[in-house]
């Protein structure tokens, strides 16, 4: 690595070293060195003869709201949470479709819904499985990587890729091959002072980077505040939590449904009696007993789970802190076989010498086998090999056959903790500020339990397949979709008109693993209905113009109304299973469509047990047990007034349509006096309204506050 240079100096060096098009790869999400990228972008805009192509995903921008009450709530919150976070200048131009002619941005995953109206983005979107991105970018001739890293004064020869080893680790060996063939390829690092120093695979030699930016980035890390978990999401999470098997493997996606699942798992462990009672009232354990008995359980976790998720989400850390995610896995096949055979406890300590033998350890030790046991940490380094015997430090000699009773008795005192055990593998992380703070507070030993690594390790089975199959027992890959067809296809990334909402990411990878791994299941979470601009519609539809997950990979689907096990079912059985978890307002129309297509018999009748799948039934359940439906189960960045205001605005949004005009007018007419909500009005700068518009806004807000309190 060259001597660290300034931001502008690093731009100069890149422009000098790369005399053709600059093909820049930036990490997904948090790991982009925005300050340096902005400097490069500004320079390229002034050099129309130079070409810049940026390959990346999930470009993070501050949330924005429409004018009026939403903006009054959001803008002060954004200022407080995001502080001096440096926006990406090219993202601003993308949103306006105003990139200069010599710059192109290609992304394989978008901040959900943020670039639907950017023609430039939609035209330059790359549809690629997450695990194939490194290959695809290398094939495009990537010649520059720029990434935020962490540093540790105790590790002066290393950087940590911290939040984003995902693609970088997979790319580095590919780029080295091209360098060896004579190509010029640069890797640039900028240290961010707030990034936690993750070890293991995420720790790389400083020499892996050719350039280091001298200025350390100390700006606010971009965060994703926890949003309210609705009743609909809570019920989805409760159903899904009963499909997670103790001793198994868990992958969770980001968002409110993932938070709801985490909350349900926490309840399953902390207050199992109340949890099971709630499942019974929800009819989960009555209607879906067969699915639960076959796939999951409702008891507390005695063995614990292992987390394997492309995104290390806040919920996984909460599950670790609660002692639910605690099953360690190991990087060596021999060790993992012993762990999978039940010979090691949660801390990696052997239960006994006999337990190691029962789990498959070869009984006859030789010099090499002894060294391997000591390297793994299972046996004390003080033991030596001497002429077919084991020699202890005090001079005792033991038979080298571990079946020998005396050998077992003495070695029991010399057993040690297995090395390298981790409870979570993750490819990248992104979350609320409290999540970053929690990681920074952990000791080095605690952080070593979280293995940030390359995405191909997590999202694929090939390479170390035997090891992964042992680690990922009883895996539950739990992701979200926004639409399901009655024939079992899932939609998560693209609208019917072709516009990309987000991206496929790793969803296909995990669905495929759900089918490839013995005992594994893919579980898609779905809100059965939605309210968009005052129109209520079903998210379970007869057909859709696009599918993220094809119907031949259908497995399990969970809505707020229940569980549909679609694996191996006929088309008619799949349709019936999905009708059973759909909203009853739409069941007649869906049945008619399926019958018209000849996929259901003309005399089909819906099971009466599922004819009252209505929000009112779930609302009554919440009214009886409000304490079990926490609005922010994983913490909250909003203060108390902001939480009230957010509920009020959501209430207003749902009623700003003709059908609710009378209800809204009545609420506004009966709005409480301003003094009752003085702090809320002060927060929204409406304590002293000026003009008719602000007086109307205040009246609406007061009505919403009263109605939603």
- Alpha-carbon gap, residue 2 to 309, rounded angstroms: 35
Q: Which fold has domain 7-212?
A: Glutaconate Coenzyme A-transferase (3.40.1080)
State pTM to two decimals: 0.95
* Three-state secondary-structure class, residue 557: strand
Distances from the Cα of 255 to the Cαs of 233, 351, 358, 484, 564, in angstroms? Answer: 10, 39, 43, 18, 22
**Per-residue pLDDT tens digits for 548-567:** 999 999 999 999 999 999 99
Cα 193–Cα 197–Cα 198 angle in degrees, nearest 5 = 150
- Alpha-carbon gap, residue 48 to 60, rounded angstroms: 26
What is the rounded average pLDDT of the residues 24-43?
Answer: 98
pLDDT at 537 over 80: yes
pLDDT at 658 over 50: no
Mode of pairing for the β-strands spanning 556-559 and 562-565: antiparallel
Secondary structure letter of residue 367 according to DSSP: H
What is the rounded average pLDDT of the residues 298-308?
Answer: 98
Decide which of 671 and 354 is more confident: 354
Q: Which CATH number fits domain 231-328+423-615: 3.30.1340.30, 3.90.1150.10, 3.30.565.10, 3.40.1080.20?
A: 3.40.1080.20
* Three-state secondary-structure class, residue 516: helix
- Alpha-carbon gap, residue 481 to 521, rounded angstroms: 16
Answer whether 417's CB lies under 8 Å from 377's CB. yes
Kind plus residue range of the DSSP H or E element containing 491: strand 490-491
Query: Which burial class, exposed, middle or buried, applies to 392 when counting CB atoms under 10 A from its CB (0-12, 13-18, 19+)?
Result: middle
Q: Considering only 95-109, 459-473, 679-693, which range has the smallest mean pLDDT?
A: 679-693
**Per-residue pLDDT tens digits for 491-508:** 999 999 999 999 999 999
CB within 8 A of 143, min separation 6: which ones? 18, 22, 23, 183, 184, 185, 186
CB within 8 A of 236, min separation 6: which ones? 257, 260, 261, 525, 526, 527, 558, 559, 560
**Per-residue pLDDT tens digits for 398-421:** 999 999 999 999 999 999 999 999
- What's the gap between Cα 484 and its chain centre? 21
Give domain limits for the chain.
7-212, 231-328+423-615, 333-414, 640-708
pLDDT at 512 over 80: yes
pLDDT value of position 534:
75
pLDDT at 664 over 60: no
Kind plus residue range of the DSSP H or E element containing 479: strand 475-480
Q: Considering only 179-183, 192-196, 534-538, 638-642, which range has the smallest mean pLDDT?
A: 534-538
CB atoms within 10 A of CB 682: 12
Answer whether 11's CB lies under 8 Å from 18's CB. no
- 524 backbone dihedrals φ, ψ, rounded to 5°: -100, 125
pLDDT grade, residue 3 (50/70/90)? confident
- 214 backbone dihedrals φ, ψ, rounded to 5°: -65, -45
Q: CA dihedral in degrees (691, 695, 697, 698; nearest 10)? A: 140
Q: Do domains 7-212 and 231-328+423-615 have the same CATH topology?
A: yes
Answer whether 578's CB lies under 8 Å from 486's CB. yes
pLDDT at 530 over 70: yes
Helix and strand totals (H; E) in the chain = 29, 24
pLDDT at 255 over 50: yes
pLDDT value of position 667:
58
- 466 backbone dihedrals φ, ψ, rounded to 5°: -60, -40
pLDDT value of position 352:
95
CB atoms within 10 A of CB 568: 9
- Alpha-carbon gap, residue 349 to 416, rounded angstroms: 6
pLDDT value of position 139:
96
- Alpha-carbon gap, residue 182 to 186, rounded angstroms: 13
pLDDT value of position 652:
85
CB within 8 A of 530, min separation 6: which ones? 482, 536, 537, 539
- Alpha-carbon gap, residue 182 to 239, rounded angstroms: 56
Secondary structure letter of residue 487 according to DSSP: T
pLDDT at 81 over 80: yes
What percent of the chain clears pLDDT 90, i.e. is strictly above it? 89
Q: Rounded to a whole number, what is the distance in angstroms from the first to the last CA of the chain?
A: 59
pLDDT value of position 659:
47
Kind plus residue range of the DSSP H or E element containing 503: none
Among the listed residues 589, 588, 580, 583, the one whose alpha carbon sits nearest the alpha carbon of residue 608: 580
């Amino acid at each position: 690595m060259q001597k660290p240079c300034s931001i502008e100096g690093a731009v100069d060096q890149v422009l000098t070293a790369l005399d053709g098009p600059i093909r820049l790869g930036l990490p997904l999400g948090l790991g982009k060195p925005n300050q340096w990228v902005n400097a490069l972008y500004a320079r390229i805009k002034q050099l129309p003869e130079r070409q810049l192509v940026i390959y990346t995903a999930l470009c993070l921008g501050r949330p924005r709201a429409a004018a009026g009450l939403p903006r009054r709530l959001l803008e002060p919150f954004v200022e407080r949470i995001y502080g001096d976070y440096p926006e990406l200048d090219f993202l601003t131009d993308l949103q306006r479709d105003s990139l200069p002619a010599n710059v192109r941005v290609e992304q394989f995953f978008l901040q959900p819904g943020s670039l639907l109206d950017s023609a430039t983005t939609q035209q330059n979107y790359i549809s690629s499985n997450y695990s194939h991105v490194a290959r695809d970018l290398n094939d495009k001739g990537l010649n520059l990587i720029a990434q935020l890293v962490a540093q540790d004064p105790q590790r002066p020869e290393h950087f940590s890729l911290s939040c984003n080893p995902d693609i970088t680790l997979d790319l580095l060996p590919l780029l080295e091959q091209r360098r060896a063939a004579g190509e010029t390829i640069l890797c640039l690092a900028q240290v961010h002072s707030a990034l936690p120093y993750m070890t293991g695979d995420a720790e790389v030699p400083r020499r892996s980077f050719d350039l280091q930016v001298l200025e350390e980035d100390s700006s606010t890390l971009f965060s994703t505040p926890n949003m309210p978990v609705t009743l609909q999401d809570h019920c989805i999470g409760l159903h899904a939590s009963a499909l997670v098997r103790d001793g198994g493997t868990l992958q969770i996606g980001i968002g409110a449904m993932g938070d709801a699942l985490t909350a349900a798992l926490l309840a399953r462990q902390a207050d199992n009696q109340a949890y099971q009672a709630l499942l019974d009232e929800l009819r989960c354990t009555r209607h879906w007993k067969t699915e639960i008995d076959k796939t999951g359980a409702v008891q507390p976790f005695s063995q614990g789970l292992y987390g394997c998720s492309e995104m290390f989400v806040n919920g996984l850390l909460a599950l670790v802190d609660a002692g639910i995610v605690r099953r360690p896995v190991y990087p060596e096949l021999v060790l993992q076989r012993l762990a999978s055979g039940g010979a090691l406890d949660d801390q990696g300590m052997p239960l006994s010498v006999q337990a190691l033998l029962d789990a498959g350890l070869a009984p006859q030790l030789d010099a090499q086998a002894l060294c391997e046991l000591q390297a793994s940490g299972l046996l004390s380094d003080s033991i030596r090999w001497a002429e077919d015997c084991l020699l202890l430090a005090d001079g005792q000699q033991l038979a080298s056959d571990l079946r020998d009773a005396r050998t077992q008795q003495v070695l029991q005192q010399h057993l040690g903790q297995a090395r390298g055990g981790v409870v979570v593998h993750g490819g990248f992380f992104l979350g609320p500020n409290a999540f970053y703070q929690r990681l920074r507070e952990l000791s080095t030993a605690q952080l070593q339990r979280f293995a940030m690594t390359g995405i191909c390790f997590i999202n694929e089975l090939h390479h170390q397949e035997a090891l992964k199959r042992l680690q990922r027992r009883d895996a539950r890959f739990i992701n979200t979709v926004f639409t399901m067809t009655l024939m079992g296809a899932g939609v998560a990334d693209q609208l019917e008109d072709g516009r990309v909402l987000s991206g496929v990411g790793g969803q296909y990878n995990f669905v495929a693993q759900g089918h490839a791994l013995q005992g594994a299941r893919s579980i898609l979470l779905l809100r059965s209905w939605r309210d968009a601009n005052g129109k209520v519609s079903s998210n379970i539809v007869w057909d859709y113009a696009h599918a993220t997950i094809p119907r031949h990979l259908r497995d399990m689907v969970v809505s707020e109304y229940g569980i549909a096990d679609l694996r191996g079912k006929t088309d008619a059985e799949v349709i019936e299973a999905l009708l059973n978890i759909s909203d009853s307002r739409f069941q007649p129309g869906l049945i008619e469509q399926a019958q018209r297509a000849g996929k259901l018999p003309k005399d089909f009748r819906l099971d009466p047990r599922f004819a009252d799948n209505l929000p009112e039934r779930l609302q009554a359940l919440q009214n009886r047990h409000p304490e079990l439906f926490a609005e922010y189960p994983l913490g909250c960045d909003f203060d108390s007034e902001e939480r009230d205001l957010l509920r009020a605005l959501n209430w207003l949004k749902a009623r700003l349509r003709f059908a609710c005009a009378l209800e809204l007018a009545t609420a506004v007419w009966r709005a409480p006096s301003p003094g009752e909500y003085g702090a809320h009005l002060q927060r929204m700068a409406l304590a002293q309204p000026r003009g008719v518009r602000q007086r109307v806004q205040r009246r609406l807000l007061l009505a919403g506050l009263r109605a939603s309190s």
